[in-house]
């Protein structure tokens, strides 16, 4: 159980957001799944206890967040409200009678009380009994027996390369230095007097760069993000031959799993387009959501980023079915970060402060290479990681803390973004050099996206084959 991908929140979130209820049988399945969710949570508690007995626990901060999340879910209210809403919708659409609805609501209430609540009560009891045994100032996964081997394995999984922790650390240091140079150029362009750290502080604190911490401010963030995405989506045909059928929407994260300053994320729609892809935003603390980075993150999560890449993969008919659903973090996150830069070519970031925000996003991913390897291979503490992050970015303290705590519980995952982006940029440069006037940007993007997610070795092979064909 951790604050990022724990099934204690993923299972209710799945039921609320993705479990379609279009018929009586669908609702019966939902009720059945509530019972099985409880069985799953109970099994996971057994596994967690076995891990704890072996001395393997998440850091204390993860326990503390999971306790808060579990308390918010324990009485089952968010799920029961969703169940009742979906039952009412069936009545409205005349799929069931009012008597059937009354019976379904009774069964739903019983499922929550007899299964869901006891499982989450058991989870809370265990979490509260174990939290004091967790480390308050942990280093990374290498502190455990076999931890270094485990981390090297995670790096291989997330980068699909043989790069070592030391090599990735060095790549990160070089990228941080390069991007800082580009940041200095924008600082000079806007006429800011002071060094880069002073500019970081200005962009990170001046009121002009934040929406008010009100419901109106939250809606403003959603509306402006939607506008940027709508404007860029119109330009996609100039850069892509294959376009997604699925629609894209921007939504706030549900209250029970929302965290101050936590990173935005994308959730895929359905292959048939019946459910839109969703760009989710954490808006509980608007002071952790600067306007300067908003545009770049929208492009990363939406178009031409994750929404486009995942939707196209799901809609492919030219590859085996499993490849339409395959996931390689280095490919998908590399594409998302490449998309942030591509959006500049497409006319995004007209505001220089927002272009600076694009670099803030990019240096953030370069910092990840340094910090993730620092935590898990070089003995860095959470405080060490926060210090490096703070010295090299203008990201808010709330966001930095949430980021570092994310890396702590997801070893290696954060390295995939920059490694993937660098490879896609390398492949594009190779294609441009070899093809010269024959290089077609639409063809290049289609060959990157048209085979679904791939390990980098196979992606490179695919691009080289395309270059030969173009020749």
Task: Give the sign of the dihedral formed by CA 84, CA 87, CA 92, CA 96.
Answer: negative
Task: Report residue 260's pLDDT band, with 50, 70 and 90 as the boundaries.
Answer: confident
pLDDT at 138: 86
Angle between helices 60-73 and 7-18 in degrees, nearest 10 = 40
pLDDT at 357: 93
pLDDT at 256: 79
pLDDT at 274: 84
Q: What is the residue-averaged pLDDT of the chain?
A: 94
- Alpha carbon of residue 354 to chain centroid: 21
Cα radius of gyration rounded to whole Å, the chain: 23
pLDDT at 255: 84
Residue-wise pLDDT for 45-55, tens only, equals: 999 999 999 99
* Token pair recorded at residue 384: 């060490």
| Predicted confidence (pLDDT) at residue 275 exceeds the cutoff of 80 | yes
Nearest to 198 by CA among 7, 32, 64, 394: 394
Burial readout 380-401 (b: 16 or more C-beta within 10 A, e: otherwise): bbbebbbebbbebbbbbebbbb
pLDDT at 261: 73
Q: What is the DSSP letter of 290?
A: -
| Predicted confidence (pLDDT) at residue 263 exceeds the cutoff of 80 | no
Q: In whole angstroms, how far apart are CA 451 and each of 310, 327, 331, 373?
A: 11, 12, 11, 31
Range in 89-93, 170-174, 273-277, 430-434 the model is least confident about: 273-277
* Token pair recorded at residue 97: 């009678």
Q: With contact defined as beta carbons under 8 Å apart, do 369 and 347 qualify?
A: no
Phi and psi at residue 266, to the nearest 5°:
-115, 140
Q: Which domains does the chain have, with CATH numbers?
A: 7-136 (1.10.132), 149-417 (no CATH)
Residue-wise pLDDT for 109-154, tens only, equals: 999 999 999 999 999 999 999 999 998 988 899 888 899 999 999 9
| Predicted confidence (pLDDT) at residue 262 exceeds the cutoff of 80 | no
By three-state DSSP, how is residue 245 classified?
A: coil
The neighbour count for residue 188, using CB atoms within 10 Å, is: 10
Residue-wise pLDDT for 14-45, tens only, equals: 999 889 999 999 999 999 999 999 999 999 99
Nearest to 44 by CA among 92, 90, 9, 84: 9
- Cα separation, 236 vs 445, in Å, equals 11
Query: What's the half-sphere exposure (Cβ side, CA atoms, 13 Å) at 228?
Result: 31
Residue-wise pLDDT for 293-307, tens only, equals: 999 999 999 999 999
Residue-wise pLDDT for 427-450, tens only, equals: 999 999 999 999 999 999 999 999
Q: What is the DSSP letter of 55?
A: T
- Cα separation, 263 vs 240, in Å, equals 28
Nearest to 38 by CA among 76, 71, 69: 76
């Amino acid at each position: 159980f951790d604050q990022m991908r724990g099934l204690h929140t993923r299972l209710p979130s799945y039921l609320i957001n993705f479990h379609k209820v279009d018929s009586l049988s669908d609702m019966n399945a939902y009720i059945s799944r509530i019972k099985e969710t409880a069985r799953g949570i109970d099994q996971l508690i057994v596994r967690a206890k076995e891990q704890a007995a072996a001395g393997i626990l998440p850091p204390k901060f993860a326990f503390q967040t999971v306790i808060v999340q579990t308390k918010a879910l324990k009485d089952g209210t968010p799920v029961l409200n969703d169940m009742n809403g979906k039952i009412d919708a069936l009545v409205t659409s005349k799929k069931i009678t009012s008597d059937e609805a009354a019976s379904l609501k009774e069964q739903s209430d019983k499922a929550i009380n007899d299964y869901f609540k006891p499982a989450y009560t058991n989870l809370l009891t265990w979490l509260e009994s174990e939290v004091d045994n967790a480390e308050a100032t942990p280093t990374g996964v290498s502190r455990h027996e076999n931890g270094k081997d485990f981390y090297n394995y995670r790096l291989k999984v997330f980068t699909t390369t043989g790069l070592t922790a030391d090599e990735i650390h060095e790549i990160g240091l070089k990228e941080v230095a390069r991007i800082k140079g580009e940041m200095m150029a924008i600082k000079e362009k806007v006429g800011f007097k002071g060094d880069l750290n002073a500019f970081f502080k200005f962009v990170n604190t001046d009121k002009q760069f934040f929406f008010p911490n009100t419901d109106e401010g939250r809606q403003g963030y959603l509306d402006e993000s939607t506008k940027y995405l709508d404007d860029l989506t119109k330009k996609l045909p100039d850069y892509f031959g294959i376009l997604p059928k699925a629609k894209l929407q921007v939504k706030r994260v549900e209250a029970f799993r929302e965290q101050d300053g936590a990173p935005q994320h994308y959730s895929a729609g359905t292959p048939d387009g019946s459910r839109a892809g969703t760009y989710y935003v954490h808006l509980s603390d608007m002071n952790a959501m600067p306007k300067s980075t908003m545009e770049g993150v929208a492009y990363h999560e939406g178009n031409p980023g994750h929404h486009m890449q995942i939707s196209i993969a799901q809609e492919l008919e030219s590859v085996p079915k499993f490849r339409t659903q395959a996931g390689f973090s280095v490919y998908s996150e590399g594409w998302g970060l490449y998309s942030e830069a591509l959006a500049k070519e497409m006319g995004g970031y007209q505001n220089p402060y927002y272009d600076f925000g694009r670099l803030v996003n990019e240096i953030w991913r370069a910092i990840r290479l340094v910090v993730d390897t620092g935590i898990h291979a070089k003995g860095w503490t959470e405080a060490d990681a926060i210090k490096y992050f703070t010295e090299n970015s203008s990201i808010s303290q709330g966001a930095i803390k949430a980021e570092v705590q994310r890396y702590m519980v997801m070893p290696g995952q954060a390295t995939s973004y920059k490694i993937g982006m660098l490879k896609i940029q390398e492949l594009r440069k190779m294609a441009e050099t070899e093809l010269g006037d024959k290089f077609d940007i639409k063809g290049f993007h289609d060959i990157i996206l048209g085979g679904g997610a791939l390990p980098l070795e196979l992606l490179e092979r695919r691009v080289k084959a395309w270059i030969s064909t173009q020749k």
